[in-house]
């Protein structure tokens, strides 16, 4: 049954009456009402049609309903499919187009956030089959905004077909070359040409995807570039690239480190500049294709040789700069990316085989020199931060600075150099760049089915928390815990260490200054990292490790249930489904979280109450036991130390904003060393008798809160 206008009005009246309820409940009631009156697609189709209504109130009501549907994560696939079908209409108004594109962006963001990337890719597949669709590029310059938006959308859809990107790139380039009057139109067409070119460069270099050109066309482009009358000052970025890369060459992400085409575009850009720009673009494309690269290189070298033999030859100074830049595109290079706190900050561009010296401000006389670009690795001859030797490409490498790492990116071919600045642009990416780097870096351990090395453990806090949590969960499930050893440990202290990997840092030992000493085992190191950055993906493995008592940080001073502390931290930062039930089940577990090995010494809790300076340095394997004149009953340690029950109760109070004193909870005065960044407060019950009363009252209050949330 197709819903009438009256049914739609009644639906919104129901939603408005429930405005005082939480937003989630309003959305769930709305979707429930829709499912009772008709199928899912029918009301959605009606709301989409109302976006093009002549009535402002009808449009606003439809947009509100579709927003609620999009943000509720229900029927996202159906809604996105219907939106894209409607956007294909050529007669759609400009306002309706913009509203639907807003909903489309909202849907894609929510679906990617929920991890439903497969559905996104499936829906994002082109609706056009066979050859590239017929796109009216002249409509991109129309005075009608609706026609411009529709033409731009059809153009972007055409990029998904095998030949669509190539055809769109060539047509846009020729359209710009033939002259566009308005500066806004120039910038818009230029941006679309960059998108089409990126898509073309990302496709495999196959004969059917290669640039179609003859030797005569190549020579014509070279002649046009060689005779350009442009001022040399506009081409400073392309002047003497070989000499520029011999000194420090650092650029921000998205910047073409070798050059960019800004020199051709200005408010006073004229047709001759655009003609030279088009010729340079075509020659770059020819150098990027294996089929035409040799012929293009010979044509450029031939024209440069004519200048050498005849200084008065037809080659302007600007033309020589451009032709030498084009030749340099074939020079093997490397981009050393610097990442800090999960963000790509800068790239240092290096020519392989050429030592790059640094300016005086760095106070370093050690040049950065890379050579021998091999299969997936590169050899460092010398460097300020990386030690000499082989280093992997496209993976994170620890930097001496805390929270920072390097990624070495291969720029061997002209295609890679042209694509690199487009890939590092922040816009238009479907995946978090840090997540992609983290997955590539951790994949090696899973492929080789091994534990992490010390170098890899040091790197983990700098990677994406979700990728680290997934990998940590796999490691906890797959392997038993093994002790961690310092680099080059004395043989008499190690014994048989054939089952333990050799640990070596990537950066120079003199610069290795870790912020904290790792716990003395592999899995406890993982747990310490999860305390800081762990997400819910690691929760199942952590809970099983707790149940099996699989991870314990122990030395001569302390026993630490570090898996419990990691699970508590993840529960506060990124709670998983069923986290509250898990916390409630722990309320009767009075085992200590941190306790001294020697029970004759008082617990850290008792020492802090006497205002002594407790030694929480259980992380150090070289610490010496404290001497104490106090005799303490072991039962006091069990009840007064930080235990599982008190911590679970304290976390529940913190999550639901409940006063701890109501449940006889007190805050521990001093945080253990190494746990300063936990997202919870260290809590314990006043004594054993008050603990029973507090637990019973807390369970009752949590039950009432749950009843109020889900009546």
- pLDDT at res. 387: 86
Share of the chain above pLDDT 90, in %: 29
Reported as a pLDDT band with limits 50, 70 and 90, residue 558 is low
Q: Which long-range contacts (CB under 8 A, 24 or more apart) does 657-663 make?
A: 658/698, 658/701, 662/694, 662/697, 663/694, 663/695, 663/697, 663/698
pLDDT in tens, 179-234: 677 778 888 888 899 999 999 998 888 877 788 889 999 999 999 999 998 888 88
How far apart CA 371 and CA 388 sit, in angstroms, is 11
- pLDDT at res. 364: 62
Spell out the residues 6+ positions from residue 705 whose beta carbon is closer than 8 angstroms to its own. Answer: 656
pLDDT in tens, 141-168: 777 777 777 777 778 878 877 678 888 8
- pLDDT at res. 428: 44
Paired sense of beta strands 389-392 and 377-382, if any: antiparallel
CA neighbours closer than 13 Å in the CB half-sphere of residue 389: 11
Spell out the residues 6+ positions from residue 262 whose beta carbon is closer than 8 angstroms to its own. Answer: none
Mean pLDDT score, 441-453 = 93
Percent helix, percent strand, percent coil in the chain, to nearest 5 = 55, 10, 35
- pLDDT at res. 569: 94
CA neighbours closer than 13 Å in the CB half-sphere of residue 130: 2
Reported as a pLDDT band with limits 50, 70 and 90, residue 293 is very high
Between residues 661 and 76, the one the model is more confident about: 661
Reported as a pLDDT band with limits 50, 70 and 90, residue 116 is low
Summary count for the chain: helices (H), strands (E): 28, 13
Reported as a pLDDT band with limits 50, 70 and 90, residue 106 is confident
How far apart CA 519 and CA 331 sit, in angstroms, is 46
Between residues 668 and 292, the one the model is more confident about: 292
How far apart CA 455 and CA 505 sit, in angstroms, is 5
- pLDDT at res. 337: 93
Here the tokens at position 276 are 């030279």
- Which residue is it, tokens 């529940």? 652
Q: Which range is least confidently modeled, 102-111, 180-189, 349-358, 626-635?
A: 626-635
- pLDDT at res. 470: 95
Task: Give the burial class of 125: count Cβ atoms within 10 A of its Cβ; 0-12 exposed, 13-18 middle, 19 or more buried.
Answer: exposed
pLDDT in tens, 594-641: 876 544 444 444 444 433 333 333 333 333 333 333 333 333 334 446
Share of the chain above pLDDT 70, in %: 72
Burial 141-171 (b: 16+ CB within 10 A, else e): beeeebbbbbbbbbbbbbbbbeebbbbbbbb
Residue 289 gets which letter from DSSP?
A: S
Q: Which range is least confidently modeled, 56-60, 300-304, 359-363, 643-647?
A: 359-363
Q: Measuring CA to CA, which residue among 700, 664, 670 is closest to residue 682? A: 670
Position 538 pLDDT exceeds 90: yes
| Mean pLDDT, the chain, integer | 76
- pLDDT at res. 334: 92
- pLDDT at res. 654: 92
Reported as a pLDDT band with limits 50, 70 and 90, residue 475 is very high
Q: Is the pTM of this model over 0.85?
A: no
Q: Are 90 and 49 in contact (CB under 8 A)?
A: no
Position 474 pLDDT exceeds 60: yes
Position 485 pLDDT exceeds 50: yes
How far apart CA 399 and CA 121 sit, in angstroms, is 35
How far apart CA 105 and CA 115 sit, in angstroms, is 15
Q: CA angle, corner 193, sides to 188 and 194, nearest 5?
A: 100
Residue 519 gets which letter from DSSP?
A: P
Residue 351 gets which letter from DSSP?
A: E
In DSSP terms, 397 is beta-bridged to 406
Mean pLDDT score, 407-426 = 88
pLDDT in tens, 78-100: 777 777 777 767 677 777 877 88
Reported as a pLDDT band with limits 50, 70 and 90, residue 430 is low
- pLDDT at res. 493: 39
- pLDDT at res. 312: 52
Q: Which range is least confidently modeled, 355-364, 431-440, 595-604?
A: 595-604
Between residues 686 and 248, the one the model is more confident about: 686
Count other Cβ atoms within 10 Å, centred on residue 701.
Answer: 16
Position 29 pLDDT exceeds 60: no
Here the tokens at position 337 are 């990316």
pLDDT in tens, 684-697: 898 888 889 999 99
φ/ψ of residue 668, rounded to 5: -70, 135
């Amino acid at each position: 049954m197709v819903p009438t206008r009256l049914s739609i009005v009644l639906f919104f009246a129901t939603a408005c009456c429930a405005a005082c309820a939480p937003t989630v409940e309003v959305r769930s009631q709305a979707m429930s009402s829709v499912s009772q009156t008709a199928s899912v697609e029918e009301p959605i189709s009606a709301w989409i049609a109302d976006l093009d209504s002549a009535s402002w109130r009808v449009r606003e009501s439809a947009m509100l309903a579709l927003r609620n549907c999009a943000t509720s994560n229900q029927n996202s696939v159906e809604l996105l499919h219907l939106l894209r079908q409607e956007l294909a209409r050529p007669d759609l108004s400009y306002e309706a187009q913009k509203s639907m594109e807003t909903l489309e962006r909202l849907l894609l963001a929510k679906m990617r956030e929920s991890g439903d990337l497969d559905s996104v890719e499936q829906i994002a597949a082109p609706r056009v089959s066979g050859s590239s669709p017929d796109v009216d590029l002249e409509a991109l310059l129309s005075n009608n905004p609706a026609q411009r938006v529709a033409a731009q959308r059809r153009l972007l859809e055409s990029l998904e077909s095998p030949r669509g990107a190539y055809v769109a790139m060539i047509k846009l380039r020729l359209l710009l070359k033939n002259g566009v009057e308005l500066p806004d139109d120039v910038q818009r067409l230029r941006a679309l040409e960059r998108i089409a070119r990126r898509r073309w460069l990302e496709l495999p270099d196959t004969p059917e995807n290669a640039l179609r050109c003859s030797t005569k066309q190549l020579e014509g482009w070279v002649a046009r570039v060689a005779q350009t009358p442009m001022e040399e000052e506009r081409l400073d970025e392309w002047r003497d690239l070989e000499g520029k890369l011999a000194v420090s060459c650092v650029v921000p992400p998205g910047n073409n480190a070798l050059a960019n085409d800004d020199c051709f575009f200005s408010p006073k850009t004229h047709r001759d500049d655009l003609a030279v720009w088009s010729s340079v673009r075509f020659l770059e494309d020819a150098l990027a294709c294996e089929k035409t690269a040799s012929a293009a290189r010979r044509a450029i070298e031939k024209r440069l040789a004519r200048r050498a033999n005849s200084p008065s030859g037809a080659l302007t100074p600007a033309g020589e700069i451009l032709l030498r830049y084009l030749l340099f595109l074939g020079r093997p290079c490397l981009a050393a990316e610097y990442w800090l706190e999960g963000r790509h900050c800068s790239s240092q561009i290096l020519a392989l085989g050429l030592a790059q010296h640094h300016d005086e401000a760095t106070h370093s006389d050690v040049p950065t020199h890379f050579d021998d670009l091999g299969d997936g690795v590169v050899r460092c001859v010398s460097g300020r931060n990386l030690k000499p030797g082989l280093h992997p490409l496209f993976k994170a490498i620890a930097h001496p600075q805390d929270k920072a790492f390097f990624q070495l990116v291969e720029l061997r071919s002209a295609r890679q150099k042209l694509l690199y600045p487009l890939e590092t642009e922040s816009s238009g990416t479907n995946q978090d760049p840090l997540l992609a780097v983290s997955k590539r870096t951790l994949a090696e351990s899973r492929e080789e089915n091994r534990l992490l090395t010390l170098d890899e453990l040091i790197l983990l806090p700098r990677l994406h928390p979700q990728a680290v949590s997934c990998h940590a969960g796999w490691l906890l499930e797959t392997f038993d815990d093994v002790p961690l050893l310092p680099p080059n440990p004395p043989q008499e202290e190690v014994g048989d260490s054939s089952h333990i990997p050799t640990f070596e840092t990537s950066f120079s030992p003199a610069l290795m200054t870790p912020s904290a000493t790792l716990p003395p085992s592999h899995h406890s190191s993982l747990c310490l990292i999860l305390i800081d950055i762990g997400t819910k993906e690691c929760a199942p493995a952590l809970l099983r490790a707790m149940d099996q008592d699989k991870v314990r940080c122990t030395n001569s001073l302390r026993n630490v249930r570090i898996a419990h502390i990691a699970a508590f931290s993840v529960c506060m930062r990124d709670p998983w489904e069923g986290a509250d039930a898990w916390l409630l089940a722990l309320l009767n577990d009075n085992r200590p979280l941190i306790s001294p090995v020697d029970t004759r010494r008082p617990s850290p809790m008792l020492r802090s109450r006497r205002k002594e300076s407790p030694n929480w340095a259980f992380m150090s394997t070289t610490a010496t036991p404290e001497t104490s004149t106090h005799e303490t009953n072991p039962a006091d340690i069990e009840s007064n130390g930080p235990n599982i029950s008190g911590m679970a109760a304290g976390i529940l109070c913190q999550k639901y904003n409940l006063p701890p004193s109501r449940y006889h909870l007190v805050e521990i005065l001093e945080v253990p060393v190494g746990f300063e960044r936990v997202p919870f407060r260290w809590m314990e019950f006043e004594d054993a008798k008050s603990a029973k009363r507090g637990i019973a009252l807390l369970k009752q209050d949590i039950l009432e809160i749950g009843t109020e949330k889900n009546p």
